[in-house]
Amino acid sequence: MTPSPIRAAERYAVIGHPIAHSKSPDIHVAFARQTQQELTYEPLLAPLDGFEATVRALMAQGGRGANVTVPFKIEAFSLATILSERARASGAVNTLRFDAAGIFGDNTDGAGLVTDIVVNAGVAVQGKRVLLLGAGGAARGVILPLLAEQPAQLVIANRSSDKAVTLAGQFASQGPIVAQTFDALDGQFDLVINATAASLADALPPIAGSLFGPHTLAYDMMYGAQPTIFLHFAARHGATVRDGLGMLVEQAAESFLLWRGVRPDTASVLADLRSALGT
Ligand code: NDP
């Protein structure tokens, strides 16, 4: 009997700068084990001026795809030769797939956020009053998937308020989105999403505690061993709180699906990451 050929494991990576802190390799290795997919997944540190060269080297070495993280999501958008609709809408790419047709770029961050809120936390967005804080890459990536859930209203507020106005204008045809300044925000929201980078600097966006109430879910895209200052503030004002670890795992699952055609179960992987964080 002729032995069946041994297939080389297919190669994937996450590219960023810095990259050592990334949890994506652990997540994708766990997904591969769970779904019995033969693949490798490694962190790749790209020089700040060397993102494209890093992608091309990975492709030349037989790589099949990559996740892209800070600060290269906009460059990945430019490098992609074919874009998904959600990537085009967000202007940023966090997932690349290399195939015969070229470099396919997708953005799975928004789907990851929505799945974490709607499925994992069990909180519907439909009919709710939603506040999105921030107008950077992460905020842009989640607007379309949030509007697809049909909220009653999506308010976007940003420190540089002109960016919020621009985004609200860009997505106005997709659903009930409006921009407001931080000062003008009033009434309680059902869902408040912190997509600013403020938590990275242990800072709080300038928001009033009266925006939160007992029916509010406060969501910080950042995650860590301790709740962020934003989540502390929201909890003090009666909100239920959730960090962005679930979003991280769910956006990874969406990338894995794009690459491998199989959706991994995320619950056990999220639970393992949580316990590794010590939370
Ligand atoms: P960007 O640098 O693109 O945008 C930063 C945003 O934060 C801007 O809107 C900026 O406002 C605002 N901002 C920064 N500092 C402050 C502050 N002190 N007060 C108020 N607003 C502030 O970053 P990203 O959009 O890529 O990332 C935002 C956050 O989302 C990060 O914490 C990141 O870690 C997290 N993230 C989490 C993911 C996950 O899977 N969990 C995925 C992607 C991102 P201005 O325009 O005025 O400068």
Chain segment 172-228, per-residue pLDDT in tens? 999 999 999 999 999 999 999 999 999 989 999 999 999 999 999 999 999 999 999
Q: Residue 238 domain-assigned? A: yes
Q: Which residue CA neighbors atom 6 of ligand 1 most closely?
A: 196
My answer on whether 263 and 194 are in the same domain is no
Q: For residue 136, give both structure tokens.
A: 């950077």
Q: Residue 65 is encoded by which pair of tokens? A: 């795809």
Same domain, 83 and 31: yes
Asked whether the CA dihedral 137, 276, 255, 144 is positive or negative, the reply is negative
75: domain CATH number is 3.40.50.10860
Do 94 and 170 lie in one domain? The reply is: no
- Residue 124 shares a structural domain with residue 88: no
Same domain, 226 and 239: yes
The domain that holds 168 is classified in CATH as 3.40.50.720
Looking from the CA of residue 109, the nearest atom of ligand 1 is 42
Quick one: 132 and 205 in the same domain? yes
Å from CA of 71 to ligand 1 middle: 12
Asked if 163 is an active-site residue, the reply is no
pLDDT of residue 4: 52
Question: Has residue 32 been placed in a domain?
Answer: yes
Q: How far is the CA of 196 from the centre of ligand 1 (A)?
A: 3
Q: In which domain, by residue range, is 20 found?
A: 10-107+246-277
The answer on 45 and 57 residing in a single domain is yes
> In terms of domains, do 114 and 219 share one?
yes
pLDDT in tens, 21-61: 999 999 999 999 999 999 999 999 999 999 999 999 999 99
Say how many Å lie between the CA of residue 195 and the centre of ligand 1: 5
Q: What number is the average pLDDT over the span 70-84?
A: 96
Do both 210 and 148 map to the same domain? Answer: yes
DSSP state of 220: E
Q: Is the pLDDT of residue 8 over 90?
A: no
In a domain, 128, yes or no: yes
| pLDDT of 6 strictly over 90 | no
Is 2 part of a structural domain of the chain? no
The band of 137, judged by pLDDT with boundaries at 50, 70 and 90, is confident
Split into its structural domains, the chain has a count of 2
Cβ(223)–Cβ(244) below 8 Å: yes
Residues 42 and 24 in one domain: yes
Q: Are residue 50 and residue 121 in the same domain, yes or no? A: no
**Do residues 51 and 75 make contact, with C-beta atoms less than 8 angstroms apart?**
yes
Find the farthest-apart pair of alpha carbons in the chain and give their distance in angstroms, rounded. 76
Do 135 and 232 belong to one domain? yes
Domain membership of residue 1 (yes or no) is no
Answer yes or no: is pLDDT of 1 > 60. Answer: no
pLDDT at residue 3 in the model: 56
Return the SS3 of 95. strand
The average pLDDT across 1-5 equals 54
Ligand 1 pocket, residue 163 CB under 6 Å: yes
- The string of pLDDT tens digits covering residues 169-187 is 999 999 999 999 999 999 9
| Phi, psi for 130 (deg, rounded to 5) | -120, 135
